[in-house]
Every structure is written in structure tokens, then in C-alpha cells.
Amino acid sequence: MRVRVQHSRYMDIAAEIKARIEAGEWKPGSRLPRLNDLAAEFGANRDTIGRAVAALEAQGVVWAVQGRGIIVRHGMMRLRRPRGNLVKRNKATLSAGYSFPSASGQEKWKHHVTPVAGHEPLTNPRIAKLLGVEPGTPVMRRFRVTGPESEPPFQINISWIHPRGVIDAPEVASEDPGPGHWLYLLEKAGHWPISWTEFHRARTPTPDEARLLEIPISLPVLEIVRVGTSGGDGQPIEVTEYIVASDRVETVHVLHRDESAQPPWPDIGGPLDEIEIDR
């Protein structure tokens, strides 16, 4: 007895769209035609086209991005960047400033949206607590969406500066000429040296974050909150939140031995009753 295998129409459409993407008809980062237009082109209904797009999304070929449509992905695995723990002086520009781990390479980064700096009420209670102010306090907010020149947006970074920092260095409200320059201005105004602590966690992006990073809302993001402590008075002077698509970054941590794990180590070949065993 022969078994008849039914080949679905949507798989044929998905295969043809994928072949056309691979042939260069639609470049990475570009938008596919609307579902209605694809339906008309292939002589199929919207449901069939929707299933074809879903199949391509499952294969990692395209993404459905809220507010932008169906976007061609930058390969099955987008360029990742290891994120260590080294802060460097920024030598890529003429201004004094810092490069933090995800931006420590030599390539030039660009702004994907117009940078914004201005006073706004800090309504996020978690950030307010880390900055040492009451929720609702007006603080200087710096908003950026940045990434390397040839890549899609890499990260959203939002910095909140303590009011005393703005009093000490009012220039932090300006559009400075280089990355991290505003931190240099704070240090120059009496907060040298700023020390930093980071808190990492994974979460679901908000619709606005997904739109800015050009990712589907189903893709988790890595949220990194950096707290900068003033070397002048030992209190928080700035808090910066980085939001990075989870397929763009991996964190790297060097593990250090506790004093209890330092040599000399007991002779593991000796009697068990001479060794403290963790049960």
C-alpha cells in the first residue's frame, strides 16, 4: 500500500521566499512586502502566507518586528560580543571619556536614533533607589540607541545623573563629542574616581524596546544596570541601564578562588577521615 504524502502550499511559498532572500532580493535588515502583497503575488490567502512567514521565522530567516513588519535577519546567528569587566579610556575620539565592555572594540559606533538629554521625573522605583533619590525626583536623563556602523542597533542605554552631579557639572546636559565624555566631566567636577557595579538580569522587552532594537517581542533582552559611585563622597552619582537583545551578547566572568580553596590542598589520596568532605 502506498502512502500519499501531502505537501503543504505554505512550505513551497516559504522555500521560494527563502531562496529569494539568499539570492539577495531582500537584504538583511530590510522589510518583506506586506502579507496582502505577498498573498496577491503568490495567489494565496493571508493565512497561507502567515504560515509561510511563521515557518521562516522558526528557521531564523526572518523576524516579525512590532511596528516594522517582517524583517530579514542578519543570518541565523547575529554578531555576538563578549562582555567582560574592563573599562577603558576611549581613544577613538578626540574627547576624554570611557568605553565600557560591550563598546571596547576599535570600530566606530553610531546613533540609531537622535540622542536625547534633559530633565525628567525618575518614576522607576528600582532605579531611583539605586541612584539614592525619591521616585518622581526630576533628574538628568540621557537616552541613546547605539551600535557599530555596519550592524543593526546593538543596545539602548539610558543614564540618570544625580541632581548634585548636574549642579557640579552642568555640561552633562549637552550633546558631548564622544562616548563616556559626560563621566569625565563628572570626575573633573570632583567625583574622581567613579567606581562601577553592574547588575544583570534577563527579561522580556517592552514593545518600545523591541521596536528600537528591531527584534521580536518574544526575544528576551539582557538588562544591565550600572551604578556609578562618586569617589568624592562615596554616594551614587549616576545609574545607567543597558538593554541588549539576548542574541547579541554573552557575558564573560573570570572566577576567583576563595581563601578556603587556596593551596595547600589536602592529599586526596589519603584516608577519607583526614579530609573534610562536603556532603
Indicate the residue type of 60.
G
Average pLDDT over residues 166-188: 86
Q: What does the pLDDT look like over 68-127, one tens digit per residue?
A: 789 887 655 566 777 888 888 876 655 678 888 876 556 778 899 999 999 999 999 999
Q: What does the pLDDT look like over 116-165, one tens digit per residue?
A: 999 999 999 999 999 999 999 999 999 999 988 877 889 999 999 999 99
pLDDT of residue 151: 79
Average pLDDT over residues 165-180: 83
- Residue 275: count other Cβ atoms within 10 Å of its Cβ: 12
CA 225 to chain centroid, in Å, comes to 11
Joined together, the cell numbers standing for residue 154 give: 546593538
Give the mean pLDDT of the chain: 85
Angle in degrees, CA 229, 188, 157, rounded to 5 = 55
Higher pLDDT, 166 or 58: 166
Angle in degrees, CA 18, 40, 43, rounded to 5 = 80
Average pLDDT over residues 18-22: 90
Confidence of residue 60 (pLDDT cuts 50, 70, 90): confident
